[in-house]
Structure 1
């Protein structure tokens, strides 16, 4: 079974306050293509303008560190066919992980249920986030990737620090934010995939995140 874990990208959607919404357009319409190709043959070529942090997206170390690996430099072994582990967060906004979990080499996906607010103003306020000490523990334990179904893996006060980003990306651990559908996954026993295009010089980009459950 394949489980979809990404939000759809649509014209005008707002993923994060202050980041411009994507604009979808047309480079070549089907009507105009009829003058380019043989009779009966037509194509549509679209265009999109979007900020890299749109929808469900991947953060590479280059997002936080100028000398960190970018989208074209992070190997697929850190992004695709990873053994997955879902952590069900409960209680307060700050998510503290159980340190008896086996996270080494795994995509650790934090299920908060906050994705139920995606597309509404409520999504932007009071969101769950990962405790800094848990980010450090994940880095120390060698997690392969960390994801969350919330606005941000960090708390987001204006002009604030971003300790989880700082710790995990410095350790070379990619992040996936704005996941959805984690409720449909078992706790473990699945494979996680979230590979972006190989774009040089960029640190973030939308992904089609999904899981394969036997």
Structure 2
């Protein structure tokens, strides 16, 4: 079974406050293409202008650190066919990780249920986030990737500190934010995939995140 873990990208959607919405357009319409191809043959070529932090997206170390690997430099083995582990958040906003878990080499996906608010104003305020101490522990344990179904892996106070991003990306651990569908996954026993295109000089980009569950 394949479980979809990404939000759809649609024209005008808001992913994060202050990030411009994507704009979809047409480079070549089906009607115009009829003049270029044989009778009965037509094509559509679309355009899209979007900020790299749109929808469900991947953060690479370059997003936080100028000398970190970008989208074209992160190993595919760090993004695809990873053994997965789901951590369920509790009633509070701060999510802590059980330190008895075996996380080494695994994609740890934090399920908070906040994705139910995606596309509404409620999604943008008071979201769950990963405890900085747990981010540090995950890095020390050699986690492969960390994902969350919330607005941000960090709390988002006005002063702009991002400890979980700083810790994990410094350790070379990619992140996936704004996930959805984690409620459908078992605690473990699945494989996780979230590979973006190889764009040089960018630190973030949307992904089609999914899990393969036996």
Please give the TM-score of this superposition, normalised by the length of structure 2.
0.99
Q: Deviations over 1:120-140 (max 9, x none)?
A: 000001000000000000000
Following TM superposition, by how much is the alpha carbon of 1:39 offset from its aligned partner in structure 2, in angstroms? 1.2
1:206 has 2:206 as partner: yes
1:75 aligned residue: 75
- Following the alignment from structure 1 to structure 2, what is the Cα–Cα distance between the partners of residues 87 and 128? 13
Identify the residue that residue 153 of structure 2 maps to in structure 1: 153
- In the TM superposition, what is the alpha-carbon distance from 1:159 to its structure 2 partner? 3.2
Q: Give the TM-score, by structure 1 length.
A: 0.99
Q: Name 2:9's counterpart in structure 1.
A: 9
Whole-angstrom CA distance in 1 between matches of 2:7 and 2:211: 14
Q: For 1:126-185, what per-residue CA distance to the aligned partner results, in whole angstroms no more than 9, with x for missing partners? A: 000000000000000000000000000000012321000000000000000000000000
Superposed, which structure 2 residues align to 1:34-73 within 5 Å?
A: 34-73=34-73
Unaligned runs of 5+ in 2: none
* 1:136 alignment counterpart: 136
Q: Which runs of 4+ in 1 moved over 4 A?
A: none
Distance 2:132 2:161 in 1: 11
Over the aligned positions, Cα root-mean-square deviation in angstroms equals 0.5
Which ranges in structure 1 are unaligned for 5 or more consecutive residues?
A: none
Distance (whole Å) between structure 2 residues aligned to residue 14 and residue 211 of structure 1: 25
Local SS of the residue matching 1:74: coil
